Amino acid sequence: MIPGLFVSYLRRHHIGLLALGIALTGTAYAATLPKGSVDTRQLKNGAVSAKKIKRNAVSSSKVKNRSLLAKDFKAGQLPKGPKGEAGASALSPVPSGKTIRGAVGGDFHAYDGFIRDFAVDVTLPIPAANALGDDAVSVNVSGWQNDGGQTPPTTTDTDPGCTGTPANPTAPAGKVCIYVSVADNAFDLGGCSVLQGAGVSPYGFQLRWNSTAEGDTLVDGTWAYTAP
pLDDT tens digit sequence for 50-77: 777 777 777 777 777 877 777 777 787 7
Examine the pLDDT at 90 and tell me if it is beyond 80. no
Domain that holds residue 193: 99-226
Distance (Å, whole) CA 77 – CA 85: 24
- Cα angle 174, 176, 182 (rounded to 5 degrees) comes to 165
User: How much of the chain exceeds pLDDT 90, in percent?
Assistant: 47
Of 216, 221, 212, nearest to 120 (Cα)?
221
Confidence of residue 10 (pLDDT cuts 50, 70, 90): very low
> CA torsion sign, 158 to 159 to 164 to 167?
negative
Q: Which of 90-99, 108-117, 205-214, 219-228 has the highest mean pLDDT?
A: 219-228
> Residue 29: what pLDDT?
45
Burial of 187: CB neighbours in 10 Å, binned 0-12, 13-18, 19+: middle
Cβ–Cβ under 8 Å, residues 222 and 101:
yes
Residue 24 or residue 81, greater confidence: 81
Kindly state whether residue 58 falls inside one of the protein's structural domains: no
Cβ–Cβ under 8 Å, residues 187 and 153:
yes
Kindly state whether residue 21 falls inside one of the protein's structural domains: no
pLDDT digits (tens, 9 = 90+) for 154-176: 999 999 999 999 999 999 999 99
> Residue 179: what pLDDT?
98
Kindly state whether residue 136 falls inside one of the protein's structural domains: yes
pLDDT digits (tens, 9 = 90+) for 113-135: 666 889 999 999 999 999 999 99
Mean local confidence (pLDDT), 36-62 = 74
Q: For 31-35, 39-43, 89-93, 189-193, which range has the lowest pLDDT when averaged over its residues?
A: 31-35
Distance (Å, whole) CA 191 – CA 204: 11
Kindly state whether residue 200 falls inside one of the protein's structural domains: yes
Cβ–Cβ under 8 Å, residues 187 and 154:
yes
Examine the pLDDT at 31 and tell me if it is beyond 70. no
Residue 187 or residue 33, greater confidence: 187
Kindly state whether residue 64 falls inside one of the protein's structural domains: no
Mean local confidence (pLDDT), 171-184 = 97
- For residue 10, CA distances in Å to 3, 6, 7, 13, 16 come to 11, 6, 5, 5, 10
Neighbour count for residue 71 (Cβ, 10 Å)? 5
User: How much of the chain exceeds pLDDT 70, in percent?
Assistant: 83
Confidence of residue 17 (pLDDT cuts 50, 70, 90): very low
Average pLDDT, the chain: 82
> CA torsion sign, 45 to 50 to 53 to 57?
positive
Overall number of domains in the chain: 1
Kindly state whether residue 23 falls inside one of the protein's structural domains: no
- For residue 147, CA distances in Å to 15, 139, 183, 215, 218 come to 104, 20, 9, 16, 12
